[in-house]
Each structure stands twice: as C-alpha cells, then as structure tokens.
Structure 1
Amino acid sequence: MSQIYPEPVTLFWFRRDLRIEDNAGLYYALRSGQPVVPVFIFDRHILDSLDDPEDRRVTFIHDILGLINKNLISKGSSIDVRYGLPEEIFPALLKEYPVTAVYTNHDYEPYAQQRDRKIANLLSASKIPLYTAKDQVIFEKGEVVKDDGKPYTVFTPYSKRWRAQLNDFYLKPYPVHKYLKQLAPMKERAIPSLKSMGFREGEREFPDNEIPAQLIRDYARQRDFPGLDATTRLSLHLRFGTTSIRQLAAQAKDLSETFLNELIWRDFYQMILWHFPQVVGQSFKPEYDRIRWRNNEKEFEAWCVGNTGYPIVDAGMRELNETGFMHNRVRMITASFLTKHLLIDWRWGEAYFAKKLLDYELASNNGGWQWAAGTGCDAAPYFRIFNPYLQTKKFDPELTYIRKWVPELEELTYAKPIVEHEYARQRCLETYKNALNK
C-alpha cells in the first residue's frame, strides 16, 4: 500500500473525546511540531458485541465524526476513519503514513487498557512512541488519595479532598485553536457508512450539549422530579467526549454545588474502576457475592419490558427502552427494585442497562448498580430498600411522569404487582442477612 502522506506525521487517535476544542491529547499532538493526521477506529471488538443493528450510540458517533470531518475540511484537513480491529488497523496506518508518534487520551476501562498496551507494543516495535493525556476527568488514578496514598473507597471524604485540590489550573481549557495550522493538509476522506459496518441508522433524537445556565442553577431543587424537564442529559456528551469536562466543571463550580457533586461522583467511579478493576465482574465487597439471588427469568423479563405492576418502575424501564435514557432518580428506583424486591443479581440489570443506555459508561453504570444492590463501595446499606410507592408520592406526586410512560395505569389491562412490597422487603432482608452472617 502506498503512502498517503509524503512527510513525517503525528497521528492523533480520537476515541471517547469526540471534539476538537479543549481536547488535551489533540493539543499535545498539535504542539509536537509535525503535521497531525486525526484518526478514528470503529473498533470491531466493541461493535461485534452490540446486538442491535440500529444501536443509537453507533449512529451518534457516526454523526459526530461527520461534524468533526466537516470542521477539519474547512481547515484544509480531514479525519481518517477506519473500521476493524485496532491491532490490524495500526500496521496499515504505519504503511500509509510516515508516522513518528501517536497521541491519544487516557481510557480507564479494562478492555481499553489491554488494547492500549497492545497498540503501544506494536508501535514500539517500529520505535514509535504512544503518548496519552488525561482528558475525560478532572482528577484521575492516584491524583486524589488519602494521606497514606491509598485510594478512597467512601465518596464523602473523597469529594472533600477533590474540592480542596481543585483550582483554576485543572479547569483551564487547552487552547487547541491556536495550533490548528499544524493539522496535516489532506484531501477529504470518506467515513465508512453504517451499512458497511453492519448497522442501520438508529433514532436520532439526541440531547443538546449546550445547557442553559438556569437549568444548572435550578438543578439541586428540581433534579429528583422525573416529570420535570430539569436534568441536563449531558451524560451522553460526557461519555463520548463531545463536551469538555473542564468547561462543565467550571460552569458547575460557579452555578451549582449539587451539579458539581455529580461530576465528582463520575471521577470517583472512574478512580474506583482504575484501582479495583475486579468490580467489573465481582461485588466490591466480596462477602456480598455469597447472596443467593433468585434470578427468576420470567420476573426479569417483566422488569425489562416495564410490566411489574409498579408504575414508577415500569415508567422508567419503558422510558429506557424507547429513548435510551432514564431519569437518575428512577435509575435508583428500578435498580433497587430488581436487586431487592426481586432478588435478581445486579449484574443482570447492569448488563441490560449497558445494552440500552445511550450514555452507558462502564465505571458509572457498575458503580450505580453496586450502590443500589448494597454490594459496592460506599453503597446504600442493604437494609435500605426503596419503597416504590413512597418514591412516587415524593417525586412524582401528580403522576406526570408515570402517566406519560404507563398510559394504561387506570385500565384493568395494567399488570398486577409482581410481588407484594412488604413481603419482598422481608425476604430481601433475610436473604442478605443469611449471606452476610455466614
């Protein structure tokens, strides 16, 4: 294969940082002094594990890459998008470009770690360095630790230390725009079609990544009410890096402590995943893996489709299935219901959310599920069992949210409760107690 580019270049590898402005790795690549070729790989290791050919996340990434390419074309450059296995794509890229260095941003998930080691070794065989930068969190890995250097496993002291360490340096945007002249001049390159990768266009209703300041100001007061349009829905943009965490944290710092706290939880779970990668398949508290889950498949199916006879739970699951989103308060209620009322393993629920959520992120999803099940670090104690009726009374008193998603609520056709609340509560307490007192 002949070389596309005549002179030595630096590659910048886009992953979960799909934006040009305030992108740490791209900034360092552009400052390296050589022409920069931006690349993106539709990774078959990931795509082959998706079972919905209309997975909206793939459509979202495809759309965003189109916008990035348009922006780069206006600057006389382009993005080189490939589809395949990274370990096969990189040798092809090295044949086509005289590469002297590759830059990218950190990813903390176990698969990403493994992939990056493989690519670093492959590049190193050609004496090409792989440089990575921190981009998707404010503090990472061992940056916020206890006085003895050990990682925090409880959120409140972690968040206090996080806030104490925060200063303007960490919120300062990377001035990428100053160095865009370093982009390699390139002819427009076509992006592989969804069809060529085995996908079809999914539903395209994606939340905006521009958030009104008033919404953040009102966040603490309104965020728990799913019937209000009062959450930012920015989690999708944070997941794929179409929004800068630094910009968002700077905004939150000025406007809402509660919203900033949500961003700290995100850093916390990324830090936990980094230090304790075993949480991917095991309970953070090992003794909780002794719980004897009922794992009734019929009941699990009723929960998945939103047919449990508990309106707030059913509304949440239907919202998730139809839109790829679920309100955060309702995420806690549905997860508590599955693990505590039905005694179904949190890993089943976690896997279902991973399949359906547009904003699915391993660290936060795992952390949230283990929190709800009582098995995680700093989790809700096992005897805290959400009462769906009280949660409804408190957070959806007018049934605005429920009526939207469960229109047959007052009809005879609506499902009878799958289990009686008080009975389920007692059963849960006994099951957990038996497991933990062994």
Structure 2
Amino acid sequence: MTTVLWFRRDLRLHDHPALTAALETGPVAPLFVIDPPLVHGRWASPNRTAFLLATLHELDAALRERGARLHIRLGNPTREVPQFAREAGAQRVIVTRDYTPYSRRRDAAVARALEALGIAFHTRRGLLVHEPEEIRNATGKPIAVFTPFYRVWQTLPLRPLHPSPAHIPGAPGLDPGEIPTPASLGLPRPVDALPAAGETAARARLQRFLAGPVCTYAETRDRLDLPGTSRISQDLHLGLLSPVEVVTRARTLGCDTAKFVAEVAWRDFYHHILWHHPRVLHEPFQAAFRSLPWRNAPAHFTAWATGQTGYPLVDAAMRELAATGYLHNRARMVVASFLAKDLLLDWRLGETHFMRHLVDGDVANNDGGWQWAASVGTDAQPYFRIFNPVIQSKKFDPEGAYIRRWVPELRRVPESYLHEPWTMPPSAQEAAHCVIGHDYPPPIVDHTLARQQAITTYERARRASASEPPTQADR
C-alpha cells in the first residue's frame, strides 16, 4: 500500500515518527507543497524561504540515496495533496502534526478533500517534545504560566527515538516537479549570510554545541560577544532536528544542561499557548492591555528598524538582523523592550519586522517572545520592568566587541564612552571620528523619561480595563 508522506516542518529523516509509520505498509511517495500564502502572506520572508528551498534540495538528495525522491508541487494543498495522492495510487497521507491556526485550517480542509476520495489522513507527533494535550494542571486545564508548565513537562517520559531508515522504497512513475528559486517565486534576494541548510548541517551544528558549549550555556548564553548559544533555532523551526533527540542527547551528557533543556521547553510552551489560545496572533493574551494607546511615530519605527536609535546595543542588534537574518535572544529582548516600552510602538510592528527577516522566524515563538517583552502576553515580563539599553550593553557586551562589529561608526570610540557615546566631550568625538549628530545619531528618546511614560501608560490602561465590564470573549 503506497503512502504519501507530506513533509512540512519536519524536513529530516532522523527520528521522524511519520516516516516510520509510512514505511510500515510499503512504498512511500514523499511530497512537499509550496503553499503561496506561506511564501507571500502575512509572515513572508525571503531569508526563511531561501533556507527552506536549499533544505529541500538536501532532503531530496538524502531520499535519493535511500531509493525515493522528493516530489514538489506549487499551489493550494487542498488541491495539490489529494491530486498527488490520487496520482500515486495512495490509500493514505501521513503528516507531522502542526499547531498554528493556519495549519489547523489547512489540514482540516485537506483531510476533508482526501476523505471524499476515500483516502485516509493521519497525523503523527514530531514537531514538539510533548503535545498540547499532555500538559495539564491538577484540574485538567491547560497551563499558561511557564514554571508550573515546566514542572509537568519535565516529569513526562520522552518517546523513543526513531532511527533514520537505510532504505525508503519510492513510488515510481510520478512527476518529481522542480524546486523553485527565490527569484522564480518573485521574492527579493535573501541575505548572503544564511546558515548552511539541510539536515546534515543541522546535525553538525547540534554536535558542535553538545561537544562542549552546552556545558557552559547557563553562564555564557546571554553574552553577545561570545559564541555561547546553540544556533539551532532555524533547524528546530523547520524540523531539521528532532526536539526529542535534542533533549535526549542533552540530558545524557555529564554536565548540567538544565538551562538549555528549559529553553527547548519554552519552545513547547509557546506552541501550546498558540494551540489553546489562537487569538494571540491578533491580540494580547492579557485582556487588560488590549487597548493600550500605542504611539503613531513612523520616524521612530524607521530609526529602530534601521539601527539608528542612538543606543549602540539596539542599533547593533537591528543591523545584525538586517544583514544576517539572525539575532541573539538577549538582543531580541532588548530591542523588543525598546520598541514597545521606550518608543511605545505597537509590539505587532516588531513582530512582523522580525518575521520578515528571521531565518528562524517561528509564528508561535516569535509571538510569544514579543508579547513577553511588551508585557502583554502570558507569563510576561511585568510592565514596570523595562530593559535599560545602556545597562544591558555594559553587562552583556562589556568590551563592546559586538557593538564595534555591527556599528562601524563607533569602532574608534573609547570603551569608557562606547555604551553611551552621546556623553563624549567634543574633543573625544573628534578624536574618535564620531561626531554625535553627524557620524552617529543622538538618542531618539531619553530612556529615563521614556521608562516613566511607559509605566504610566501601562498603569492607566490596566486601571481602565479593570473598570470596564468584561466582553463576551472574556466571560
């Protein structure tokens, strides 16, 4: 019995439960559908799409080595998947379960179309460590605070890992289609600094991290000037790595990897939140902040997005994002806090900007992170806690190596002034070839004043919400 294995965010052969299930009954017809809304829609990203397309080439090569190949279709999956299944003479389609609102609508529509043809549609786990139905509190309800979530998450057993198959019997006679290029899809040119794509490169990144850096992760993970993180976020997003394998291997090392494992749990947490509360993609999780009076200041947004705020750490981070499609998590928190708190601009502007650039842009994680930084999400940073970009800079880039790399105007500025270049006396500015207001901008806001304004704004919104009767959605 031929089975269609519809790849989506599971572009690997190691530890792939859906692939294991597909192999149980005979030939397998691997399929990937390039879905136009995902390429050109709300979360479109040339960087992420280019990384995806390069990964598809590597996946096709790995399938060919084992006797099958990847089939490419372009169009609406509701049409393309049933048509391909019929061409393959398949009796069933198997997928790895996904959790976004769009994925759920898409899969329901595909399942209905397949049912009309007498073809079964099956889902398997594989994108997360634990499923949304598995994490509950004592009363059986979903958990929306990370610490109790993590307590339960840690107690659940990990499923066994699935080996990568040595042979995959393919379904002959099918048109393989062609993997397009970003240009053929009408996308702008991606950045040149994309990470190496595909499962082989992802596994090499994981191995390098587990071979040493993971053991000092708790101490170095926030340093912007040190290579202390795993750099596997894009691999987890597209399923080049199995999160279960990542956690399993990390837990078996002879050092303390708890902090790293907890970060993988945060990934599960935000996917679970999105599963149980899909409205968060359009509004704050916390009803009290639905009516925050965000400012309308396009010039400030442009300064933030282009790295021209006058705060060196913020500017370095935003320039790195534009140049590489990557951003360290500490930098993400700092720039997100700056946009939402210092500038009082709607966090959704930042959420969209990140998704446009990030190679690892993940709907659930990105939304959860932005709502956390803006103090409007579940288990979020309290609204009165606001990152000071100067203190963050001094603490996590103490010698200014990160700043000097991404803000060349500041390379000659003495370390004593680097984190606050506007405090340089004129003579020091001339000596450093960095005249504030000419070579590098002055701060677009005063952090101390902006902080107080943000606290006042949030407090007023919270009080106003408390005095309003609940809406139907809140009851």
Q: TM-score, normalised by structure 2?
A: 0.86
Report the counterpart of residue 8 of structure 2 in structure 1.
15
SS at match of 2:441: coil
Query: Residue 254 of structure 1 aligns to which amino acid in structure 2?
Result: T
Report the counterpart of residue 170 of structure 2 in structure 1.
183
Alignment partner of 1:198 is 2:186: yes
Report the counterpart of residue 119 of structure 2 in structure 1.
128
Alignment partner of 1:100 is 2:126: no
Report the counterpart of residue 420 of structure 2 in structure 1.
none
Tell whether the 8 Å contact from 1:294 to 1:344 is kept in structure 2 after alignment. yes
Alignment partner of 1:421 is 2:447: yes
CA deviations 1:2-38 (Å, max 9, x no partner) are xxxxxx521000000001121111111111x131100
Shift of 1:64: 1.4
Which residue of 26, 30, 33 maps to 2:23?
30
Shift of 1:288: 0.6
Tell whether the 8 Å contact from 1:77 to 1:187 is kept in structure 2 after alignment. no
Query: For residues 270-349 of structure 1, what are the structure 2 equivalents within 5 Å?
Result: 270-349=271-350
Query: Residue 447 of structure 2 aligns to which amino acid in structure 1?
Result: H
The 1-side partners of 2:189 and 2:296 are apart by 34
Bigger shift: residues 230-239 or 188-197 = 188-197
Shift of 1:231: 1.1
Alpha-carbon distance change, 185 to 98 in structure 1, aligned in 2, over 3 angstroms: closer
SS at match of 1:13: strand
Alignment partner of 1:239 is 2:237: yes
Tell whether the 8 Å contact from 2:371 to 2:377 is kept in structure 1 after alignment. yes
Shift of 1:88: 2.3
Tell whether the 8 Å contact from 1:60 to 1:204 is kept in structure 2 after alignment. no
Tell whether the 8 Å contact from 2:18 to 2:94 is kept in structure 1 after alignment. yes
Shift of 1:116: 0.3
Report the counterpart of residue 4 of structure 1 in structure 2.
none
Alpha-carbon distance change, 236 to 175 in structure 1, aligned in 2, over 3 angstroms: same
Shift of 1:185: 4.7
Tell whether the 8 Å contact from 2:5 to 2:28 is kept in structure 1 after alignment. yes
The 1-side partners of 2:303 and 2:172 are apart by 55
Tell whether the 8 Å contact from 1:315 to 1:402 is kept in structure 2 after alignment. yes
The 2-side partners of 1:29 and 1:76 are apart by 14
Report the counterpart of residue 403 of structure 2 in structure 1.
402
Query: Residue 389 of structure 1 aligns to which amino acid in structure 2?
Result: V
Alpha-carbon distance change, 309 to 204 in structure 1, aligned in 2, over 3 angstroms: closer
Bigger shift: residues 207-216 or 356-365 = 207-216
Alpha-carbon distance change, 390 to 51 in structure 1, aligned in 2, over 3 angstroms: closer
Alpha-carbon distance change, 201 to 424 in structure 1, aligned in 2, over 3 angstroms: closer
The 2-side partners of 1:144 and 1:91 are apart by 34
CA deviations 1:166-200 (Å, max 9, x no partner) are x3x42x2113416x344335689352331443347
SS at match of 1:12: strand
Alpha-carbon distance change, 29 to 201 in structure 1, aligned in 2, over 3 angstroms: farther
CA deviations 1:177-228 (Å, max 9, x no partner) are 16x3443356893523314433476335305422322011111111100111
The 1-side partners of 2:77 and 2:87 are apart by 15
Tell whether the 8 Å contact from 1:105 to 1:132 is kept in structure 2 after alignment. yes
SS at match of 1:177: coil
Report the counterpart of residue 457 of structure 2 in structure 1.
431
CA deviations 1:289-339 (Å, max 9, x no partner) are 121111311100100001000111111100100000001101000000000
The 2-side partners of 1:382 and 1:46 are apart by 33
- Unpaired segments ≥5 residues, structure 1: 1-7
Bigger shift: residues 336-345 or 43-52 = 43-52
Tell whether the 8 Å contact from 1:83 to 1:197 is kept in structure 2 after alignment. no
The 2-side partners of 1:399 and 1:350 are apart by 27
Tell whether the 8 Å contact from 2:47 to 2:358 is kept in structure 1 after alignment. no
Tell whether the 8 Å contact from 1:78 to 1:188 is kept in structure 2 after alignment. no
Report the counterpart of residue 473 of structure 2 in structure 1.
none
- Unpaired segments ≥5 residues, structure 2: 414-433, 465-475
CA deviations 1:383-409 (Å, max 9, x no partner) are 001111111111111011111111112
Which residue of 142, 161, 164 maps to 1:173?
161
The 2-side partners of 1:429 and 1:183 are apart by 60
Tell whether the 8 Å contact from 2:293 to 2:457 is kept in structure 1 after alignment. yes
Query: Residue 148 of structure 2 aligns to which amino acid in structure 1?
Result: P
The 2-side partners of 1:340 and 1:201 are apart by 33
SS at match of 1:104: strand
Tell whether the 8 Å contact from 1:66 to 1:191 is kept in structure 2 after alignment. no
The 2-side partners of 1:102 and 1:245 are apart by 23
Which residue of 93, 104, 118 maps to 2:109?
118
Report the counterpart of residue 423 of structure 2 in structure 1.
none
Tell whether the 8 Å contact from 2:47 to 2:194 is kept in structure 1 after alignment. no
The 2-side partners of 1:34 and 1:71 are apart by 19
Alpha-carbon distance change, 146 to 37 in structure 1, aligned in 2, over 3 angstroms: same
Give identity over the alignment, percent. 40
Tell whether the 8 Å contact from 1:73 to 1:188 is kept in structure 2 after alignment. no
Report the counterpart of residue 366 of structure 2 in structure 1.
365
Q: TM-score, normalised by structure 1?
A: 0.93
Query: Residue 215 of structure 1 aligns to which amino acid in structure 2?
Result: P
Alpha-carbon distance change, 143 to 17 in structure 1, aligned in 2, over 3 angstroms: same
SS at match of 2:30: strand
Alpha-carbon distance change, 335 to 11 in structure 1, aligned in 2, over 3 angstroms: same
Shift of 1:353: 0.6
Bigger shift: residues 369-378 or 182-191 = 182-191
SS at match of 2:91: strand
CA deviations 1:249-308 (Å, max 9, x no partner) are 112223411100100000000100000111111100011112111131110010000100
Query: Residue 248 of structure 2 aligns to which amino acid in structure 1?
Result: A
Tell whether the 8 Å contact from 1:291 to 1:431 is kept in structure 2 after alignment. yes
Tell whether the 8 Å contact from 1:23 to 1:174 is kept in structure 2 after alignment. yes
Which residue of 252, 255, 264 maps to 1:254?
252
